[in-house]
Amino acid sequence: MNPRGDTWMALFPPLAGLPEAERGMLATRAAAAALPAGTTVFEPQQACGAFLFVTRGSVRVYQLDQDGNEIVLYRLGPGSICILTTMALLAADRYSAYAVTETEVEAVALPGPTFDDLMGRSPRFRGFVFLAHAERMADLMRVIQNVTFESIESRLAARLLALAADRGTLSITHQQLAAEIGSAREVVSRHLKAFERRGWVSLARNRIEVRNAASLRGAAGDADA
């Protein structure tokens, strides 16, 4: 049923301490699923009825307003669970958030009843779920901190570094970058141009190369934490 056995559990350190019986439940009741890049995983007024463990790839969760403005709230990678579907599952509430796969994503789905069973049976599993909720809550609070108190320049620098990771170069448009930090394309373009003039990055269509990460880190300051 699960093509990779229960090895996916290794991606979730808090699950390591679960008793064998509960690991067995996870292994036998969970079903793996693969989603191509660009799949809409979640949007308002429509919920997926399972508890999802992400085992590979990346899911971007973002907010939209009615004019199409966008801001990225957080990303889910291997080892994360989708808290929006959990909320929708258990609290029947509705959010104004969207989630889309950025790459091909593999996830393990736990049926609602099994999830609830585990929540009742296992203090450790409860701790795991609460921890995940706490992390997402912290993500949202970080976003609020950034948009409210940090300058565009520092947020942009921080986000460039985060997205480039150690690859040093990234394929992204200015429009997408603006959506990352909840700003406007023109504003991002101007700041990138300024970064380029200072020799911190090189710009080309759809491509940004980080040339001086140290300076960017300095400009990032406290942004993103």
Closest contact distance (angstroms) between CB of 146 and DNA is: 11
C-alpha neighbours within 13 Å on the C-beta side of residue 197: 6
Size of the site for a copy of itself (CB under 8 A): 42
Closest contact distance (angstroms) between CB of 156 and a copy of itself is: 15
The one of a copy of itself, DNA, none whose footprint includes residue 63, by CB under 5 to 8 A per kind, is: a copy of itself
CB 77 within 8 A of CB 50: no
- Residue 16 found at the interface with a copy of itself (CB under 8 A): no
Map tokens 């300058």 to a residue.
151
Residues 111-130, interacting with a copy of itself (CB under 8 A) = 116, 119-121, 123, 126-127, 130
- Residue 198 found at the interface with DNA (CB under 7 A): no
Map tokens 């699960």 to a residue.
2
Name beta bridge partners: 56. 106
Burial 24-47 (b: 16+ CB within 10 A, else e): ebbbebbebeebeeeeebbeeeeb
CB 48 within 8 A of CB 59: no
Closest contact distance (angstroms) between CB of 131 and DNA is: 32
C-alpha neighbours within 13 Å on the C-beta side of residue 136: 21
CB 176 within 8 A of CB 183: no
Site string for a copy of itself, 178-217 (x = CB under 8 A): ----x-----------------------------------
Nearest to 136 by CA among 182, 187, 99: 99
The one of DNA, a copy of itself, none whose footprint includes residue 217, by CB under 5 to 8 A per kind, is: none
- Residue 100 found at the interface with a copy of itself (CB under 8 A): no
Binding site for a copy of itself (CB under 8 A): 63, 65-67, 69, 71, 73, 83, 86-87, 90-91, 93, 95-97, 116, 119-121, 123, 126-127, 130-131, 133-138, 140-141, 143-145, 147-149, 182, 222, 225
- Binding residues for DNA (CB under 7 A): 69, 151-153, 173-175, 182-187, 189-193, 203-207
